[in-house]
Structure 1
């Protein structure tokens, strides 16, 4: 007899949130990256590789270990817990020892592997327990990953102030051990589920030969690349815009920084909210559409529209705050929605039996986009002809990329669905 009811909330939703809220704190990197750089006496650009490696190994571990997750979620949940916690605590130890490569090894490689396995582990389980609302279920879990930054950032700042940077890593490693072990103990497949090995056509080698897979991969990759390119420049775009407002234009640099700090902080907090709402909203919306690709079409059309709106206001020399905010908020929502809608889109085309394998393989796009998105933005900004508004130069570039993504997902939508997917509609 178990102490907890054996239902989809305790066996799917609760463990998914415990795992994803823990590993989602990877996005809190900006809270302490400069502190790590200062402690180790290296440049922030050098230490930034810790985060880049974490995202890269997230995608690569998901791509290669998807079949393991498919077969045994208990094993994958435990491995994710060990890798993530050891990586997080090891980062603190590396800082204490002033061992810079340790940050790359523990935060980047070991923790990154835990991220990839932990991200995949609860997804198929949610889809099995919520077979009638797969999009909503995956959206809730992935929203936990997106909200982790908003939850953990103030906690990290409080701990750094109270116990110091190194001890912050140790304290939170202990907290995440409890949370993720809780997820490991709770997670369970629905009663009656029997693992079936995917047929040969849905194994990695065969999937990589399918144009359909690459159409989805390209759309997913471009959505992340565009999102990261814009998100990485948000603060500077807002500073450029606010500096054009007469009230702030006459201020000195120090006065300006103080005056806008609260405004930008509030806007970035709302960004995080839109990201989480997009994760739940677009995935849930896909449950009510004839084809899951339609959610992606809406995301890309919406993103193109707000980018074009921003370009038009810039062209007349009258950048409007509401137009910039609409662009930032809605692109953040679409960025999050792209993650949460992906598993159910793959299920539609390749079936639930292989969804962890196909999902993991597609997440390799995240690994590559994690490296290319920020670099694309940096390259465009540094080569902009108008240095006074150089950050706005990113917008026309991502508009074109969103158009390519829309074309890619439109081609995917032209593919005839398998009979099993048609029967479910």
Structure 2
């Protein structure tokens, strides 16, 4: 009650940042600007998420009730402010509110429940972190149809106001409920200094692997609605339909796929983090994620084009990449705890989440650049697949280096008469 419920209340609220694709085109249309310009609001939200987590990790370490309150205020104010900026036709306001203010709420709120659940479930830390962030992934499945219904019922601007009120109540309940387990005492002396963490090569290898997994995931997630649109348009059964008839015929299927994507994202967060509890090395979950992601991207490359692939192959790719994307987040805290200890998990986790900040700037922008500069517009997503396969391969090499580093140091400790840490 003091750990799981507040974690879900906070993460289900802030996880709606991944519903961006539901309304980004509507914002662009209403504000009479290019979708590529509006895309920067999402990029800034992820950037401020990662950087606020990196700088405010010690605050979360020291006082999770304060961090829960900071998250509530910033997220709700930013979400409601986005609606007000759209109503006023003020584009910089969208960047400030959705990007900067809401982004800070995202970063602090994301960190707040993670270590707390690891403390409450000390024997199953992987499962605990999976629970902590599963709500973040599941939020899209819950909120996407609600947002679509609200937009059609009360309009785009009012959708932001209504949901801001709902999230304010949910996050306030989370603030009231969240507690550290009995007997826990914060110790400033036990914390690892951020400077010390950043001097260790193993931290940067984990950072690179995490960064690339997010970059590739965002590259696909930001485009998945358009990928499905193009794939359906290439099917004979929809040939000859005008834009209105095509939208009516495919809207339900696309919405269903986006919701299932979110379910796979949440399942990946629970599944891969739980897998790490049963592996001798936490890194094993990342190896599985990267090998799986390379395979599904290579499968698309083998068929030369998204448009020429069968729909089930496209769905497999989207579902598994979403699962691996979510699993990378949930496995990260326990992997960092394995290398840096429990006392500073929030601090080190916050530093690692700076990778999310930079991936937020590069992931969807990479996809937009590749798609917009494709030599063959009819197969505009084909060029993206080999790039993602290469990036996932680099991520796999980085995590294998982490495993090699741990094996090397375990052997050195054994030579000195110490047992390797398990």
Is 1:241 the counterpart of 2:207? The answer is: no
Partners of 1:159 and 1:262 in 2: CA distance: 16
Partners of 1:339 and 1:376 in 2: CA distance: 21
Give CA-to-partner distance per residue, 1:304-337, whole Å, 9 cap, x none: 112222222338x962332222211111110110
Partners of 1:238 and 1:18 in 2: CA distance: 31
The verdict on how the C-alpha distance between 1:167 and 1:242 changes in structure 2, with shifts beyond 3 A counting, is closer
Partner of 2:397: 407
1:90-101 alignment to 2 at 5 Å? 90-101=81-92
- TM-score by structure 2 length? 0.91
Higher mean C-alpha displacement, 77-86 vs 35-44:
35-44
CA contact (8 A) 1:220 1:365 kept: yes
Partner of 1:269: 259
Partner of 2:70: 79
1:249 Cα offset (Å): 4.1
1:243 Cα offset (Å): 4.1
CA contact (8 A) 2:273 2:331 kept: yes
Give CA-to-partner distance per residue, 1:143-200, whole Å, 9 cap, x none: 1011112212232333334434333333322222221111111111111111122557
Partners of 2:121 and 2:405 in 1: CA distance: 26
1:74 Cα offset (Å): 1.1
Partner residue of 2:201 out of 205, 208, 211 = 211
Is 1:327 the counterpart of 2:317? The answer is: yes
1:270 Cα offset (Å): 1.8
Partners of 2:159 and 2:282 in 1: CA distance: 42
1:13 Cα offset (Å): 0.4
Partner of 2:21: 30
1:383 Cα offset (Å): 3.3
CA contact (8 A) 1:198 1:354 kept: no
Dislocated runs of 4+, deviation >6 Å: 421-424
Higher mean C-alpha displacement, 34-43 vs 214-223:
34-43
CA contact (8 A) 2:139 2:262 kept: no
The verdict on how the C-alpha distance between 1:30 and 1:331 changes in structure 2, with shifts beyond 3 A counting, is closer
Partner of 1:182: 173
1:424 Cα offset (Å): 7.1
Partners of 2:27 and 2:229 in 1: CA distance: 26
Partner of 1:291: 281
Match of 1:132, SS?
Answer: coil
CA contact (8 A) 1:303 1:331 kept: yes
CA contact (8 A) 1:313 1:320 kept: no
Partner of 2:216: 226
Partners of 1:44 and 1:379 in 2: CA distance: 12
Partners of 1:265 and 1:174 in 2: CA distance: 24
Partners of 2:165 and 2:309 in 1: CA distance: 47
Partner residue of 1:376 out of 345, 366, 372 = 366
1:121-140 alignment to 2 at 5 Å? 121-140=112-131
Q: How many residues align?
A: 414
User: Which structure 2 segments of 5+ residues have no match?
Assistant: none
Partner of 1:353: 343
Give CA-to-partner distance per residue, 1:4-62, whole Å, 9 cap, x none: xxxxxx11101101111111112222333334344444333333322221111001000
The verdict on how the C-alpha distance between 1:245 and 1:39 changes in structure 2, with shifts beyond 3 A counting, is closer
Partners of 1:22 and 1:238 in 2: CA distance: 26
Root mean square deviation, CA, Å? 2.4
The verdict on how the C-alpha distance between 1:250 and 1:156 changes in structure 2, with shifts beyond 3 A counting, is closer
Match of 2:52, SS?
Answer: helix
Partners of 1:283 and 1:340 in 2: CA distance: 6
Partners of 1:165 and 1:13 in 2: CA distance: 32
Partner residue of 1:170 out of 161, 167, 174 = 161
Partner residue of 1:143 out of 114, 118, 134 = 134
Partner residue of 1:366 out of 332, 346, 356 = 356
Partners of 2:224 and 2:79 in 1: CA distance: 27
Partners of 1:272 and 1:415 in 2: CA distance: 34
Partner residue of 1:54 out of 27, 39, 45 = 45
